[in-house]
């Protein structure tokens, strides 16, 4: 019988030999100088960067790393019979060898994976995980290496994790099984078929290592902090179906070294190591055993609906051909509204449908819908209404077979044929909203009832009334300035993966994720004083222009556990606010024009700084101050406080067109009021005008952009 440790050593040798072969072949074909890069990442070969501190850019550089990898693999002969360190190092070596194999596929081929295989994971995808990870919407990750004993069991375990919100990566034959069972797969639904072979696992390890570098500010080569980060911050685990080959066992050793338990039904030459290597012969119990091993506890809300409910369905797309009803607020009268009522006016859990239901129309028809959520509670405040209302989008969107976009009277809801066929009706939207509102806001909502209107005449009238309320709220929001409130708030939600980061949220500067306004932070604080948002006083002003307060510095120091001592709210150069990684936009100094460039996450093209969003993001995250670069929310761009210390929004010289269009109205108003310049967006270049400094400067000179004549930035 072969010892488990020897299976690790042999497996790592096997992986190494495959890497060597692939490298020799590629070198013979393309030569040492051939460029080597994985697409859409600023982290090179991230595992090489994280473990070896190496920024690999050519094929030839892999020769040297192969030598280094070898030193981590003593093999069965060289190792002390049960030297744990050698075993773990062999696991890491297997990941590195796997990265060599996988990276070579991308030489001269940007898309080596065809069909549903995902292969390399982009930086943008890594960042996408930021927010759901902090909020606990993604409670963990699983890597399933298969095939499972049957197609049915494969589908069951995958869906089982999906409905629990666990992010699923698939490797090997289980991907074919999922395809045969018609499971919809992809990043948005959190089921990612990585690749057919075990070495594709390196892409998942790369994701984890980048998360540590992006969100945790872990420095390349810092093994201790890397292990600490993956152990404490990444709730991952592995399910490996028998029979498990030695090469898979070697990757398993790497996973265990990172703190990720492996659960398997392979009993051959396996040992049980509590919480690390767990034999569970009954594969139907994999989910429960795994969740227990990684200490993942779920907050389950029981909702009386005929379909599943999980944050994994948030990204689900319902195509035109698959929809039963199309609720389209841009064509018919629709709206959503949350209202505070007196407790006596509310019958808790009442759900009333005023008008026809989904059955009354032909499949694929347009449908009008208005939802009023009425709440009552001793601690309820009208300032909470918009906060709760904006959650309707998320609450409904997590329902399987239902897609929701937009808010207020510009919503779009699609009900799929599949959901309709199993009995989903208008009332169930009410069930979802009732359960989630009560569950998430139990400290203020004592009673809740839902009214769903579907008669066009009613909707016309109600929509007009709703708009009066929206306008009133907007006026209140617009009247709030940093000067006329008594306190700011901080938000430390992102510390669960970016431990040193703190956002300071003011009326004129929302959180960099774009999701937390001053009112949101206030509500979060009042709903739960021990939650992520805390009061920040603003009594001791240090510098008005920079937006520096002694109280803010103290609060930031305390909240960042001493990592950060000084933060200004209005400057990009002097002690700028830090970023976790989930910024909507990044602003960076553009030296030639004496201005700044802003790029939003959705924009994948080049900026005149010679960097893409991803590349700029590598300089901006991890809770570290990076003067000259700053992450921020989209709505901050039109704020009068936007880089006020450097002269404000009139410094903006370039933005992607879509972003420019989005903020145009508000931005033009701001610059007109502050600087007397009309139609300022006409001065700002975009990707259709310039993607390099030369054409940018030509455009700015033609327009005589105000930044050209402003005080030098640097
Ligand atoms: Fe994270 Fe800042 Fe948004 Fe809070 S406000 S969730 S800390 S990015
Ligand atoms: Zn964040």
Over 70: is that where the pLDDT of 143 sits?
yes
DSSP H stretches of helix in 515-618: 518-527, 550-559, 613-617
Task: Say yes or no: CB of residue 62 within 6 Å of ligand 1.
Answer: no
- Which ligand has the minimum distance to the alpha carbon of residue 503? 1
Q: For ligand 1, what atom is nearest to the CA of residue 580?
A: 8
The CA distances from residue 27 to 56, 63, 94, 682, 702, in Å, are 15, 9, 21, 51, 49
Task: Say how far apart CA 449 and CA 451 lie, in whole Å.
Answer: 7
Over 90: is that where the pLDDT of 702 sits?
yes
What's the mean pLDDT when you consider all of the chain?
93
Q: What is the pLDDT of residue 309?
A: 92
Task: Say yes or no: CB of residue 580 within 6 Å of ligand 1.
Answer: yes
Q: For ligand 2, a single-atom ion, which residues have Cβ within 5 Å?
A: 494, 580, 582
Backbone phi and psi for residue 504, each to the nearest 5 degrees, phi listed first? -105, 125
**Contact assessment for residue 259 and residue 177, using Cβ atoms and an 8 Å cutoff:** no
- Which ligand has the minimum distance to the alpha carbon of residue 617? 2
Q: What is the pLDDT of residue 272?
A: 76
Which run of H or of E encompasses 327? strand 323-328
Q: Compute the CA torsion angle 599, 603, 605, 606 (nearest 10 deg).
A: 10
Nearest residue by C-alpha to atom 5 in ligand 1? 511
Nearest residue by C-alpha to atom 1 in ligand 1? 494
Question: Can you give the three-state secondary structure of 467-489, one letter per residue?
Answer: HHHHHHHHHHHHHCCCCCCCEEE
| Residue 291 CA from chain centroid, whole number | 22
Mean pLDDT for the stretch of residues 326-339: 94
Confidence band of 494 (pLDDT split at 50, 70, 90): confident
Over 90: is that where the pLDDT of 18 sits?
yes
| Predicted confidence (pLDDT) per residue in 591-618, tens digit | 999 999 999 988 989 999 999 998 898 8
78's tokens = 């060289």
| Predicted confidence (pLDDT) per residue in 501-522, tens digit | 999 999 999 999 888 899 889 9
Q: Tell me which of 133, 498, 502, 512 to substitute to probe ligand 1's pocket, judged by most ligand atoms within 8 Å of the beta carbon.
A: 512
Q: Tell me which of 503, 518, 520, 528 to substitute to probe ligand 1's pocket, judged by most ligand atoms within 8 Å of the beta carbon.
A: 503
- Which ligand has the minimum distance to the alpha carbon of residue 633? 1
**Contact assessment for residue 556 and residue 504, using Cβ atoms and an 8 Å cutoff:** yes
Confidence band of 79 (pLDDT split at 50, 70, 90): low
Q: What is the pLDDT of residue 540?
A: 96
Closest of 73, 8, 63 to residue 32, by C-alpha? 63
Three-state secondary-structure class, residue 169: strand
Mean pLDDT for the stretch of residues 318-333: 93
Distance 502 CA to ligand 1 centre (A): 8
Strand locations in 538-584, DSSP E? 541-543, 548-549
DSSP-derived letter for residue 635 is G
Q: For ligand 1, what atom is nearest to the CA of residue 533?
A: 4
Task: Say yes or no: CB of residue 515 within 6 Å of ligand 1.
Answer: yes
End-to-end CA gap in the chain? 69
Task: Say yes or no: CB of residue 512 within 6 Å of ligand 1.
Answer: yes
Q: For ligand 1, what atom is nearest to the CA of residue 510?
A: 5
Task: Say yes or no: CB of residue 513 within 6 Å of ligand 1.
Answer: yes
Which run of H or of E encompasses 189? none
| Predicted confidence (pLDDT) per residue in 420-472, tens digit | 999 999 999 999 999 999 988 888 899 999 999 999 999 999 999 999 999 89
Three-state secondary-structure class, residue 249: helix
Q: Is the C-alpha dihedral spanning 684, 688, 692, 698 positive or negative?
A: negative
The CA distances from residue 24 to 19, 354, 534, in Å, are 9, 71, 57
| Residue 519 CA from chain centroid, whole number | 23
Backbone phi and psi for residue 324, each to the nearest 5 degrees, phi listed first? -85, -45
Mean pLDDT for the stretch of residues 230-258: 94
| Predicted confidence (pLDDT) per residue in 633-656, tens digit | 999 999 999 999 999 999 999 999
Q: What is the pLDDT of residue 74?
A: 83
Mean pLDDT for the stretch of residues 618-627: 88
**Contact assessment for residue 315 and residue 165, using Cβ atoms and an 8 Å cutoff:** no
Q: What is the pLDDT of residue 214?
A: 87
The answer to whether the peptide bond before residue 54 is cis (omega within 30 degrees of 0) is: no
Nearest residue by C-alpha to atom 3 in ligand 1? 513
Neighbour-count burial for 168-177, b at 16+ CB within 10 Å, e otherwise? bbbbbebbbb
Over 90: is that where the pLDDT of 136 sits?
no
**Contact assessment for residue 489 and residue 534, using Cβ atoms and an 8 Å cutoff:** yes
Distance 631 CA to ligand 2 centre (A): 10
Q: What is the pLDDT of residue 682?
A: 97
492's tokens = 């430390």
Helical axes 151-163 vs 286-293, angle rounded to 10°: 40
Q: For ligand 1, what atom is nearest to the CA of residue 532?
A: 4
Bridge-based pairing of strands 595-600 and 548-549 is unpaired
Closest of 37, 176, 174, 161 to residue 108, by C-alpha? 37
Task: Say how far apart CA 433 and CA 428 lie, in whole Å.
Answer: 9
Q: What is the pLDDT of residue 362?
A: 95
The CA distances from residue 685 to 261, 606, 674, 692, in Å, are 51, 13, 21, 11
Mean pLDDT for the stretch of residues 480-493: 95
Q: What is the pLDDT of residue 84?
A: 84
Environment class of residue 34 by beta-carbon count within 10 Å: exposed (0-12), middle (13-18) or buried (19+)? middle
Q: What is the pLDDT of residue 81?
A: 52
Closest of 149, 66, 154 to residue 103, by C-alpha? 66
pTM above 0.95, yes or no: no
Q: What is the pLDDT of residue 531?
A: 80
Least confident of 6-10, 268-272, 683-687: 268-272
Q: For ligand 1, what atom is nearest to the CA of residue 501?
A: 7
Least confident of 27-31, 43-47, 174-178, 518-522: 518-522
Task: Say yes or no: CB of residue 621 within 6 Å of ligand 1.
Answer: no
Mean pLDDT for the stretch of residues 289-318: 87
Closest of 422, 419, 425 to residue 454, by C-alpha? 425
Closest of 87, 99, 133 to residue 256, by C-alpha? 87
Q: What is the pLDDT of residue 443?
A: 85
Task: Say yes or no: CB of residue 258 within 6 Å of ligand 1.
Answer: no
Q: Is the C-alpha dihedral spanning 642, 643, 649, 654 positive or negative?
A: negative
Over 70: is that where the pLDDT of 300 sits?
no
Q: For ligand 1, what atom is nearest to the CA of residue 512?
A: 8
Over 80: is that where the pLDDT of 271 sits?
no
In terms of pLDDT, which residue wins out, 77 or 197?
197
């Amino acid at each position: 019988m072969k010892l488990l440790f020897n299976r690790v050593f042999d497996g790592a040798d096997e992986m190494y030999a495959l890497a060597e072969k692939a490298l020799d072949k590629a070198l013979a074909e393309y030569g040492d100088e051939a460029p080597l890069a994985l697409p859409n990442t600023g982290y090179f070969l991230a595992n090489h960067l994280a473990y070896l501190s190496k920024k690999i850019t050519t094929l030839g550089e892999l020769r040297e790393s192969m030598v280094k990898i070898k030193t981590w693999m003593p093999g069965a002969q060289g190792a002390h019979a049960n030297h744990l360190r050698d075993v773990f190092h062999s696991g890491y070596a297997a990941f590195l060898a796997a990265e060599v194999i996988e990276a070579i596929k991308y030489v001269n081929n940007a898309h080596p994976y065809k069909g549903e295989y995902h292969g390399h994971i982009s930086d943008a995808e890594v960042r996408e995980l930021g927010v759901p990870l902090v909020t606990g919407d993604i409670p963990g990750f699983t890597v399933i290496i298969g095939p499972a004993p049957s197609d049915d069991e494969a589908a069951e375990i995958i869906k089982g994790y999906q409905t629990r919100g666990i992010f699923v990566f698939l490797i090997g034959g289980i991907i074919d099984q999922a395809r045969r069972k018609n499971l919809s797969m992809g990043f948005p639904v959190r089921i990612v078929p990585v690749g057919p072979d075990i070495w594709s696992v390196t892409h998942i390890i790369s994701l984890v290592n980048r998360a540590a570098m992006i969100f945790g500010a872990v420095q390349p080569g810092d093994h201790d902090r890397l292990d600490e980060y993956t152990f404490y911050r990444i709730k991952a685990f592995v399910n490996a179906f028998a029979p498990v080959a030695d090469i898979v066992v070697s990757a398993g050793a790497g996973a265990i070294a990172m703190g990720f338990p492996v659960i398997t039904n392979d009993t051959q030459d396996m040992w049980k190591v509590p919480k690390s290597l767990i034999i569970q012969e009954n594969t139907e119990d994999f989910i429960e055993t795994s969740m227990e091993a990684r200490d993942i506890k779920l907050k389950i809300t029981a909702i009386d609906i005929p379909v599943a409910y999980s944050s994994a369905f948030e990204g689900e797309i319902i195509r035109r051909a698959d929809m039963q009803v199309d609720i389209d607020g841009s064509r018919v009268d629709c709206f959503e509204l949350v209202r505070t009522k007196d407790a006596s006016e509310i019958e808790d859990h009442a759900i009333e449908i005023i008008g026809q239901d989904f059955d009354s129309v032909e499949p694929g028809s347009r449908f009008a819908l208005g939802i009023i959520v009425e709440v009552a509670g001793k601690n309820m405040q009208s300032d909470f209404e918009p906060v709760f209302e904006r959650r309707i989008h998320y609450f409904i969107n997590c329902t399987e077979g239902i897609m929701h976009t937009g808010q207020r009277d510009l919503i779009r809801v699609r009900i799929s044929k599949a959901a309709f066929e199993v009995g989903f009706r208008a009332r169930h939207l009410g069930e979802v909203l009732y359960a989630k509102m009560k569950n998430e806001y139990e400290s203020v909502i004592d009673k809740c009832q839902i009214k769903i209107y579907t008669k066009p005449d009613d909707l016309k009238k109600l929509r007009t009334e709703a708009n009066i309320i929206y306008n009133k709220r907007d006026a209140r929001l617009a009247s709030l300035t940093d000067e006329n409130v008594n306190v700011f708030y901080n938000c430390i939600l992102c510390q669960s993966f970016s431990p040193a980061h703190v956002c300071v949220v003011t009326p004129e500067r929302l959180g960099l994720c774009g999701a937390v306004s001053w009112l949101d932070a206030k509500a979060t604080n009042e709903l739960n004083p021990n939650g992520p948002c805390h009061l920040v006083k603003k009594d001791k002003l240090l510098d008005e222009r920079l937006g520096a307060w002694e109280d803010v510095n103290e609060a930031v120091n305390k909240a960042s556990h001493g990592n950060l001592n000084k933060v200004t709210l209005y400057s990009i150069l002097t002690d700028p606010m830090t970023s976790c990684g989930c910024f909507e936009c990044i602003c960076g100094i553009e030296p030639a024009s004496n201005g700044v460039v802003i790029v939003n996450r959705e924009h994948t093209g080049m900026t005149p700084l010679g960097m893409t969003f991803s590349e700029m993001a590598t300089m901006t995250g991890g809770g570290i101050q990076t003067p000259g670069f700053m992450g921020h929310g989209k709505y901050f761009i039109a704020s009068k406080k936007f880089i006020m210390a450097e002269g404000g929004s009139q410094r903006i010289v370039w933005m992607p067109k879509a972003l420019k269009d989005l903020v145009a109205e508000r931005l033009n108003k701001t610059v007109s009021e502050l600087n007397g310049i009309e139609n300022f967006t006409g001065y700002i270049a975009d990707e259709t005008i310039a993607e390099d400094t030369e054409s940018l400067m030509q455009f700015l000179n033609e327009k005589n952009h105000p930044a050209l004549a402003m005080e030098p930035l640097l």
